[in-house]
A and B are shown apart, each in its own frame.
Chain A
Amino acid sequence: MDTILQFKNLNYHYQNNNKKITILDNVNFEFQAGHFYTILGPSGSGKTTTLSLASGLDIPSSGNVLYKGTDLRKIGLVTYRNQHVSIIFQSYNLITYMTALQNVVTAMEITGVDVKDKKGRALELLEKVGLTKGEAKRKVLQLSGGQQQRVAIARALSCNVDLLIADEPTGNLDQETSMEIIELFKELAHKENKCIIVVTHSQEVAKQSDKAVYLEKRNLVIKE
């Protein structure tokens, strides 16, 4: 199996009032392609830090985050975010003055995806996540929470990356929409061989994942 992302001897700590606070302590973990992971843990356990490190928004205090065997620092965080990973946020984080379609096309333009008909591809992806053409051409604030999250997923998919990291993607959604989103993630992992990592509080979502990873004692532990 292909290892997409690897945490190697990973440590993360910060100073608070001259006191060293350790969040992650010597973490060694591998995320494989074609799997849907969930990362669970109580508040303050380091879920957001793990997500930041995996998505190239932060760097570890020591140790390495390796993408397909290469340290992120060597790839460069901006290049890594631009070319290899897509992030889906709990609050969607779409550009509000754009339509759903423009949000997806903008991401494709920034990442330089090699697609001639970017608009056509974006419409295709939006349709895939369940948006109609009419909805695709609406300003994102005119869409429901579930539709906005679908746009965020379509945006993440449009960048044509192997690794999708989501932070509480169903946190603001109703049960039915949440399940639809989770089904979409499973499909992406199993049919398109993508590695999906979802940070969540929800045991329901964890049950749907291939591997539920728990943050315990500042380390990542798999509970099958």
Chain B
Amino acid sequence: MNFIKRAFLSVQARKGKSLILFVVFLVVSNLVLAGFAMQNVTETASDLARKKLGVDVTLGLDGEKFQKYVQKQRNENPNERIHRPELSTEEADKLAESPYVKDFNYLKDSQGVADGYTPINDDKEGDMAGGSVGGSQGNMKMPNTFIHGVRSSDLLKEFTDETNKMIEGRPITSEDKDKKVALVEKQLAEDNNLQVGDELKIKTTDESSTLEIEIIGIYETSTMDSNMETAPPLFHPSNKVYVSYGSLKDLSENKDMKDTSIDQAIYYLNDPHHIDDFKVEGKKIGIDFDLFKLDAHDALYKKMIGPIENMALTSKWIIYLVSITGSIILGLIIMLTIKERRKELGILLAIGEKKGKLIGQLLVEVLCIAALAFSLSIFTGGTVSQTMGDSLLQKEVTAYEEQENNVEVPTFMFGMNGDQGKDVDPIDHIDVGVTSQDVLKLGGLGLIIAILSTILPALSILRLNPKDILLKDE
């Protein structure tokens, strides 16, 4: 084992060369460690994004596909009315049976005309109040009530985040599916002297049918602001009436169909990690995915995580590039070292040292320096990773924002806002911590780099002949 001792003596004696190798290894290990650490961040950020966005997956119309569908229908049948495709609860129920689903909600939006009570701001509309739409026919009333059909009001974002609070009565639950029940806003209730247990009447805009529903609860909304004083009744938050989704069947064009039609189904999963599996499962059910989609706030998720994913991709390339160029540089340095130490190797061969042990000596020298550099990089890696991560992420966020600004904002359509009004900013700061797993990975990769960059040039030792080195050189 004396070659190990020789290796240590050599490293100590060749301080300059050892320092150069140490610096190269330190740079390589810091960059590789930063690369590994940044890749880990993606996973953490993904979990963070999922936690922030929630574990809900919305089954609803795909806006882009629907626009194409409308365009196609207009071209093919220009005079025919285009019916908005609807989901049936039968299809949605199948998906709700998935083991990944903890709870679910159905949404269906509609508009109607108050009958027997006065919506907020309805009297300020002047000529428009009680007016009509429908062009020359003039047989359609202007809607003044926004009706929000739900399976469970408690699951709605505005109730979970307490924008709306129940102040009287009870919420709408799944038990109310076939009951004609409603929740009204406090201001509307006060202005019209409505109370829990009273009956509310809402007509369709063509006045062909009337929805008669019992008020089971009163809620208070905090979305009011000064603009609301002049808002048209349809858009005034106090005029929003929550009803059981089954109640809206009476207002539907397809009131004869066996199942109730809905705009969206929202599934709340047990675990955010099941989102992809749930989507795969959903595709197997007979839903028309040419028009509908399962959306787990994908756009928002992409917005939050996009820059980090790009950063992770860049860090992956950094690992490849640094490993390859680092190995080449180290290999060249070692090749030059071997050339420089030809005589020393010749002397040892003349004494009867085996060539394998000479290669072993070089390997120990390189591994010894590499180990020192790797050890130091454990302490410096955290700072390097954070600096690199911040810089890369900032670039990605800027690039992402520029790209976002260039994208046209899609037209808003009722029942197609899968994000329920949510919005997020891209993740623009991350804590890039070096984990023990990163250090282990670095150790493995570093060992491979050190061995390859030593063994390949050291193979030239096998061709060394002590006679040529020691006698011909003299």
Contact B471 A82 (CB under 8 A): no
- Could you mark each residue 190-228 of chain B with 1 if its beta carbon is under 8 Å from any beta carbon of chain A, else 0? 000000000000000000000000000000000000000
The answer for the CA separation of A58 and B346 in the assembled complex, in Å, is: 14
| A residues in contact with B474, CB < 8 Å | 89-91, 167
The minimal Cβ–Cβ distance linking B463 to chain A, given in whole angstroms, is 15
Closest to A53 in B: B467
Give chain A interface residues in 97-116, CB to chain B under 8 Å.
97-98, 102, 106-107, 109-111
- Given contacts A82-B351, A102-B9, whether A52 and B344 have CB atoms under 8 Å apart is no
Tell me the residues in window 25-66 of chain A with beta carbons closer than 8 Å to chain B beta carbons.
48, 51-52, 55, 57-58
Q: State how many angstroms separate the Cβ of B355 from the closest Cβ of chain A.
A: 8
Given known A-B contacts A106-B2, A111-B352, A93 and B471 have beta carbons under 8 A apart: no
Residue of chain A at shortest CB distance from B2: A109
Asked whether A97 lies within 8 Å of B9 as measured between CB atoms, the reply is: yes
Alpha-carbon distance between A223 and B105 when the two chains are bound, in angstroms: 115
> Is the beta-carbon distance between A94 and B347 smaller than 8 angstroms?
yes
Residue among A57, A82, A102, A155 with max Cβ neighbours from chain B (10 Å):
A57
Kindly state the separation between the CA atoms of A203 and B85 in the bound complex, as whole angstroms: 114
A83 to B471, Cβ gap below 8 A? no
Q: Assess the A82–B467 pair: CB atoms within 8 A.
A: no
Contact indicator B350/A87 (Cβ below 8 Å): yes
Q: Which of B14, B348, B467 contacts A110 (CB 8 A)?
A: B348
Question: Would B352 and A89 count as touching, CB distance under 8 A?
Answer: no
Contact with A along B1-38 (1 / 0, CB 8 A): 01001100110011000000000000000000000000
- Give the residue name and chain of the B residue nearest to A48 (CB): B471
Known: A57-B471, A167-B471. Is A81-B9 also a contact (CB below 8 A)? Answer: no
A79 within 8 A of B: yes
Given A78-B352, A110-B352, check contact A93 B347 (CB 8 Å): yes
Question: 0/1 per residue, B447-474, Cβ < 8 Å to A?
Answer: 0000000000000000001110011001
Could you say which of B5, B14, B354, B471 contacts A97, with CB atoms under 8 Å apart?
B14
Assess the B9–A110 pair: CB atoms within 8 A: no
**Quick check: is A222 within 8 A (CB to CB) of the other chain?**
no
Asked if A95 is at the interface (CB within 8 A of a chain B CB), the reply is yes
In the complex, number of A-B residue pairs with CB atoms less than 8 Å apart: 63
| Residues of B close to A80: CB separation below 8 A | 352
Evaluate contact between A78 and B347: CB separation under 8 angstroms: no
Q: Are A51 and B9 in contact (CB under 8 A)?
A: no
A110 touches B2 (CB 8 A): yes
> Would A93 and B470 count as touching, CB distance under 8 A?
yes
Given known A52-B467, A90-B474, contact A83–B347 (CB-CB < 8 A): no
Q: Which listed residue, B344, B347, B351, touches A111 by the CB 8 Å rule?
A: B351
- Kindly identify, within residues 336 to 362 of chain B, every residue whose CB is under 8 Å from any CB belonging to chain A: 343-344, 346-354
Known: A83-B352, A97-B9. A58 touches B467 (CB 8 A): yes
Residues of A144-185 at the interface with B, using a CB-CB cut-off of 8 Å, are: 155, 159, 167
A57 near B350 with CB under 8 A, answer: yes
CB closest residue in chain B, given A99: B9
Contact A79 B352 (CB under 8 A): yes
Q: Which residues of A contact B349 (CB under 8 A)?
A: 81
- B466–A57 touching, CB < 8 Å: yes
By a CB distance below 8 angstroms, the chain A residues around B13 are 97-98
Partner of B347, one of A48, A82, A95, A159: A95
Cβ contact within 8 Å between A78 and B351: no
Q: Which residue of A lies closest to B344 (CB)?
A: A95
Chain B contacts for A89, CB-based, 8 A: 470, 474
Point out the residues of chain A lying under 8 angstroms from B353, CB to CB.
Answer: 82, 110
Cα of A111 to Cα of B354 in the assembled complex, Å: 10
If the complex has contacts A57-B471, A90-B474, A91-B474, are A98 and B351 also in contact, measured as CB distance less than 8 A? no
Q: CB distance B343 to A93 under 8 Å? A: yes
B1 nearest CB neighbor, chain A only: A109
Are A81 and B352 within 8 A (Cβ)? yes
Whole-angstrom distance between the alpha carbons of A52 and B470 in the complex?
10
Given contact pairs A95-B348, A159-B351, enumerate 10 new A-B contacts (beta carbons under 8 Å). Answer: A51-B471, A57-B350, A57-B471, A81-B350, A81-B351, A90-B474, A97-B9, A102-B9, A106-B2, A167-B474
List the interface of chain B (C-beta within 8 A of A).
Answer: 2, 5-6, 9-10, 13-14, 343-344, 346-354, 465-467, 470-471, 474
- A-B contacts, 18 of them at CB < 8 A, read A48-B471, A52-B467, A52-B471, A55-B350, A57-B467, A79-B352, A81-B350, A81-B351, A82-B353, A87-B350, A90-B474, A93-B350, A98-B9, A98-B13, A102-B9, A110-B351, A110-B352, A167-B471
